[in-house]
Amino acid sequence: MKLTDPKLLRTQAYIDGQWCDSDNGDTFDVFNPANGDLIAAVPDLGAAETKHAIDAANSALASWRSKTAKERANILRAWYDLILQNQEDLAQLMTFEQGKPLAEARGEVIYGASFVEWFAEEGKRLYGDVIPAHGADKRVVVIKQPIGVIGAITPWNFPLAMITRKVAPALAVGCTAVVKPAEDTPLSALALAELAERAGVPKGVFNVVTCNKPNAVAVGGELTGNPIVRKVSFTGSTPVGKLLMKQCADQVKKVSLELGGNAPFIVFDDADLDAAVVGAIASKYRNAGQTCVCANRIFVQAGVYDEFAQKLADAVRTFKVGSGDQDGVTQGPLINKAALEKVQNLVDDAKDKGAKVVCGGQAHDLGGTFYQPTILTDVTTDMRIANEEIFGPVAPLYKFESEEEVIVKANDTPFGLAAYFYARDIGRIWRVSEGLEYGIVGINEGIISTEAAPFGGVKESGIGREGSKYGVEDFVEIKYLCMGGV
Q: Which residues bind ligand ADP (CB under 6 A)?
A: 153-155, 180, 182-183, 213, 216-217, 220, 236-237, 240, 243
> Measured from the CB of residue 209, what is the shortest distance to ligand ADP in angstroms?
10
**How buried is residue 350: exposed, middle or buried, by Cβ count under 10 Å (0-12/13-18/19+)?**
buried
* Residue whose CB is less far from ligand ADP, 232 or 410: 232
* Residue whose CB is less far from ligand ADP, 180 or 297: 180
* Amino acid symbol at 340: L
| β-strands 394-400, 295-301 pairing | parallel
**What is the per-residue DSSP string for 337-357?**
HHHHHHHHHHHHHHHHTTPEE
Query: Which residue has the CB atom at the shortest distance from ligand ADP?
Result: 220
Other beta carbons within 10 angstroms of residue 131's beta carbon come to: 12
| β-strands 394-400, 374-377 pairing | parallel
Q: What is the DSSP letter of 455?
A: B
- For residue 72, give every residue at least 6 positions away whose Cβ sits within 8 Å of its Cβ, in sequence order, or none: 64, 120, 123, 171, 172, 174
> Measured from the CB of residue 88, what is the shortest distance to ligand ADP in angstroms?
26
Q: Is residue 464 within 8 Å of 152, Cβ to Cβ?
A: no
Phi/psi of residue 137, each to 5°?
A: -95, 10
| β-strands 356-359, 374-377 pairing | antiparallel
Residue 297 β-bridge partners: 264
* Residue whose CB is less far from ligand ADP, 98 or 449: 98
- For residue 350, give every residue at least 6 positions away whose Cβ sits within 8 Å of its Cβ, in sequence order, or none: 376, 379, 383, 384, 385, 396
Give catalytic status of residue 258 as yes or no.
yes
Q: What is the DSSP letter of 373?
A: -
Return the HEC string of 150-204.
Answer: EEEECCCCCCCHHHHHHHHHHHHHCCEEEEECCCCCHHHHHHHHHHHHHHCCCCC
User: What are the C-alpha distances in Å from 125 to residues 107, 130, 470?
Assistant: 28, 15, 12
Q: Where would I find the beta strands (DSSP E) of 95-136?
A: 129-131
> Measured from the CB of residue 183, what is the shortest distance to ligand ADP in angstroms?
5
**How buried is residue 383: exposed, middle or buried, by Cβ count under 10 Å (0-12/13-18/19+)?**
buried
Active-site choice (258, 389, 460, 466):
258
Phi/psi of residue 75, each to 5°?
A: -70, -45
Q: Is residue 233 within 8 Å of 167, Cβ to Cβ?
A: no
Q: Which residues are catalytic?
A: 258
